[in-house]
Amino acid sequence: MKMKAYMAFAKKSFLQKSAYRMEHWMGILNTLIRLVIYVEIYRALYGAREAVDGITMSMVTTNFILSLGMESFFVVDDFYLSYRIGNGSIASEMLLPVSFHGRMLADNLGTAAFKLIFHFIPAMLVAVLFIGISAPAGAASMGLFVLSVLFGYGVLWSISFMFQMFSFWLINVWAIMTIKNVFINVLSGAMIPLWFMPESMKNVIKFTPFESIYFTPVQIYLGKITGAEIAGGFIKQIIWIVCLLGIGMILWHKGQKKLVVQGG
């Protein structure tokens, strides 16, 4: 029954999303505009050069197309919990015989599925036709890329999940969410390909979950990492998901305890 309930939540958010057509078209336009801006900036920086430190312009373009493409359907609602704590409906949620996190994930996945079909695919078609993208390193790379994308979404969702738990103690989580999103944008490779980061910075990023979101899948697609490095990438993604969800769950139980002891 429970799985059926979560499927129904996902379906509902999928259908709800389809009601906002204008928002949907503007979203596609936003992805394409950002893509063109990023690509043009790097084209200007590259000038007549074929490659910089072994990174070709085509690889940079592919990085942006894939990263922004993933970003277009990697849906997380950073304010899902804080909204419910703010209006008191968290109590209603606590009175339902379904998992709050499961419901949150199902809602997000429903929207993500909608965006994958109606945002990612059209935006990718336009990007591939008019900007161009490198082919995947091979069929296996493509399969591993898809798997890595799923884990990448898992990492992004887990980061948001953990940060959302601060809603139990903060009146407004907007500030910490903004900081979190700046880190994700800069350190995930979606804005600046991580190949161009200085070595010292790369060594720091290695120990954060951010590169696991977009950059690991892009590296696999392009064949920049192989064999043991791919396995290492997956292990890192899984470890981050487990750690972030674990911390998030500890905070969730502490937050829930606060609610039942203090009454809100």
Partner 1 sequence: MIICKDVNKFILKGIELHVPKGVTLGVIGASGAGKTTFLKLISGLLSPGRGSIYTFRKDPVGKRREILKDIAVLFADIPVFNDELSVRDSLNEMKTIYGIEKERFTERTEYVADILGFKDILDTRVRALSLGQKRRAELGMCFIRDAGLYIFDEPCIGLDQNAKAAFYTLVKEKKQEGATILISSHDMEDISEVAERVLLLDDGEAVFYGSKDELVKKLIPMEECSIKLDGAIPDISDLEVEKLIIDNDMMKIYYNSNHVSSKEVIERICAGTMVKSLNFRRSGLGESIKISHFGRV
Tokens of 54: 């072994």
Site string for partner 1, 176-215 (x = CB under 8 A): ----------------------------------------
* In the complex, least distance from residue 124 CB atom to partner 1, rounded to whole angstroms: 30
Q: Considering only 7-15, 55-63, 72-80, 117-125, which stretch makes contact with partner 1 by CB under 8 A? A: 7-15
Establish if 263 lies at the interface with partner 1 (CB under 8 A).
Answer: yes
Is 198:176 a contact under the CB 8 Å cutoff? no
Establish if 4 lies at the interface with partner 1 (CB under 8 A).
Answer: yes
Q: Considering only 54-62, 64-72, 91-99, 205-213, which stretch makes contact with partner 1 by CB under 8 A? A: 91-99
* CA distance linking residue 158 with residue 85, whole number of Å: 19
| Helix 2-18 × helix 21-46 angle, to 10° | 80
* Among the listed residues 3, 53, 87, 175, the single contact to partner 1 using CB under 8 A: 87
> 51 by DSSP, 3-state: which?
strand
CB-based contacts of 171: which residues, under 8 Å, 6+ apart? none
* Among the listed residues 54, 88, 198, 227, the single contact to partner 1 using CB under 8 A: 88
By beta-carbon proximity to partner 1, the closer residue of 96 and 250 is 96
Cα angle 215, 143, 58; round to 5 = 45
Establish if 12 lies at the interface with partner 1 (CB under 8 A).
Answer: yes
Cα angle 166, 169, 174; round to 5 = 55
- Count residues binding partner 1 (CB under 8 A): 21
Site string for partner 1, 132-171 (x = CB under 8 A): ----------------------------------------
Establish if 96 lies at the interface with partner 1 (CB under 8 A).
Answer: yes
Tokens of 199: 């070595």
* CA distance linking residue 152 with residue 213, whole number of Å: 4
- Say which DSSP state 119 is in: I
Establish if 22 lies at the interface with partner 1 (CB under 8 A).
Answer: no
User: Residue ranges of the alpha helices (H) in 19-99?
Assistant: 21-46, 57-73, 80-87, 90-94
Establish if 89 lies at the interface with partner 1 (CB under 8 A).
Answer: yes
Q: Which residues bind partner 1 (CB under 8 A)?
A: 1, 4-5, 8-9, 12, 16, 87-89, 91-92, 94-98, 259-261, 263
